[in-house]
């Protein structure tokens, strides 16, 4: 008799465990899988953990070189004298006599991701609307802001399914975008432009400023140096260029 009672008790316990496990898998299974995957990605791609921060300084170096113009935009530089200049349809390069090199990419060559998705496969766009809500993203700045702001720690097994799917999608994009070798991301806001800085000039060989103006144009600027070594110029030098950047066409 005791054996039958123990057997019945074991059966009940196993049945309860099966129900609990089944409930967990049904309600939290997908989130658990996404959490495991995103944290595993971060082991091989640590930059996924980086999210936009405030620039370490907003001070800008004094202007030394004025009236530099490329692709409909003008800017000034904190380095005196242009040693070399190469102009191209896709990008142009300026090497300054003190050593810094600035590469400006043509806005026409930058992909309008939001426009491409909206005008692409209707089924794909409908899927993104289901993930991010109707209206998707207003512009590319909003898209990049969400992508760069996503991190693996935003997803855990008990995160809501809707949020987990959204963060997973953003992190897939973040993997595709990459940070060009940078380990840090900073927010940039200056005049009529806003965007992101990838990299820290005190630690990285190159730094990229990715900016968006009110008309939707994207300006990408890479800062490096002839020596190719970190610490060649300070953050204030980059601030000088970025703060002075302005479109040469009239705003509507």
Strands 65-70 and 73-77: antiparallel
Mean residue pLDDT across the chain: 84
Using CA atoms, how far apart are residues 48 and 50, in angstroms rounded to an integer? 5
**Which residue would you say has higher pLDDT here, 21 or 116?**
116
Q: According to the model, what pLDDT value does residue 193 have?
A: 87
Strand order in the sheet with 246-247: 65-70, 73-77, 246-247
Tokens standing for residue 169: 């999608």
Question: Mean pLDDT throughout 195-224?
Answer: 91
Among candidate residues 143, 139, 141, 166, the one with its CA nearest the CA of residue 154: 166
Model confidence at 252: pLDDT above 50: no
Using CA atoms, how far apart are residues 68 and 94, in angstroms rounded to an integer? 10
Q: Transcribe 99-141 into DSSP letters.
A: SEEEEEE-GGGS--HHHHHHTS-HHHHHHHHHHH-TT--SSHH
Using CA atoms, how far apart are residues 76 and 246, in angstroms rounded to an integer? 10
Identify the band that residue 23 occupies on the pLDDT scale cut at 50, 70 and 90: very low
Tokens standing for residue 15: 């049945």
Secondary structure of residue 228 in the 3-state scheme? coil
Residue with tokens 């940039």: 188
> Backbone phi, then psi, for 90, in 5-degree steps?
-95, -35
Question: What is the chain's alpha carbon radius of gyration, rounded to the nearest angstrom?
Answer: 25
226 CA to centre of own chain: 27
**Among 33-42, 117-126, 142-151, the least confident range:** 33-42
Model confidence at 19: pLDDT above 60: no
Among candidate residues 219, 222, 172, 156, the one with its CA nearest the CA of residue 191: 219
Using CA atoms, how far apart are residues 209 and 223, in angstroms rounded to an integer? 8
Model confidence at 187: pLDDT above 60: yes
**Among 20-24, 59-63, 123-127, 191-195, the least confident range:** 20-24
Domain boundaries, the chain: 65-110+179-247
Q: According to the model, what pLDDT value does residue 26 have?
A: 45
Q: According to the model, what pLDDT value does residue 4 have?
A: 53
The CATH number of domain 65-110+179-247 is 3.40.50: no
pTM, two decimals, is 0.83
Q: According to the model, what pLDDT value does residue 45 have?
A: 85
Q: According to the model, what pLDDT value does residue 30 have?
A: 64
Q: According to the model, what pLDDT value does residue 5 have?
A: 54
Q: Give long-range contacts, CB 8 A cutoff, 24+ apart: 73-77.
A: 73/104, 73/107, 73/219, 73/245, 73/246, 73/247, 73/248, 74/244, 74/245, 74/246, 74/248, 75/241, 75/242, 75/244, 75/245, 75/246, 76/240, 76/241, 76/244, 77/102, 77/240, 77/241
**Which residue would you say has higher pLDDT here, 31 or 111?**
111
């Amino acid at each position: 008799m005791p054996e039958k009672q123990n057997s019945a008790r074991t059966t009940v316990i196993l049945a309860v465990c099966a129900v609990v496990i089944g409930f967990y898998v049904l309600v939290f299974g997908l989130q658990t899988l996404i959490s495991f995957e995103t944290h595993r990605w971060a082991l091989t791609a640590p930059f996924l953990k980086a999210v936009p921060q405030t620039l370490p300084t907003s001070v800008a170096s004094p202007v030394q070189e004025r009236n530099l113009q490329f692709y409909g935009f003008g800017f000034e530089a904190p380095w005196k004298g242009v040693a070399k200049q190469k102009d191209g349809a896709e990008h142009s390069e300026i090497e300054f006599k003190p050593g810094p090199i600035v590469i400006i990419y043509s806005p026409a060559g930058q992909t309008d991701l939001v426009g491409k998705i909206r005008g692409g496969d209707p089924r794909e766009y409908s899927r993104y609307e289901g993930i991010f809500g109707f209206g998707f993203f207003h512009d590319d700045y909003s898209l990049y802001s969400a992508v760069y702001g996503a991190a693996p720690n935003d997803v855990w097994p008990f995160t809501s399914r809707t949020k987990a799917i959204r963060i997973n999608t953003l992190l897939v994009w973040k993997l595709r975008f990459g940070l060009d070798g940078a380990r840090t991301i900073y927010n940039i806001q200056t005049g009529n432009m806003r965007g992101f800085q990838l990299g820290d000039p005190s630690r990285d060989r190159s730094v990229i400023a990715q900016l968006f103006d009110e008309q939707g144009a994207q300006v990408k600027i890479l800062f490096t140096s002839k020596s190719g070594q970190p610490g060649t110029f300070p953050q204030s030098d980059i601030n000088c260029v970025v703060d002075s950047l302005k479109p040469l066409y009239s705003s509507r």
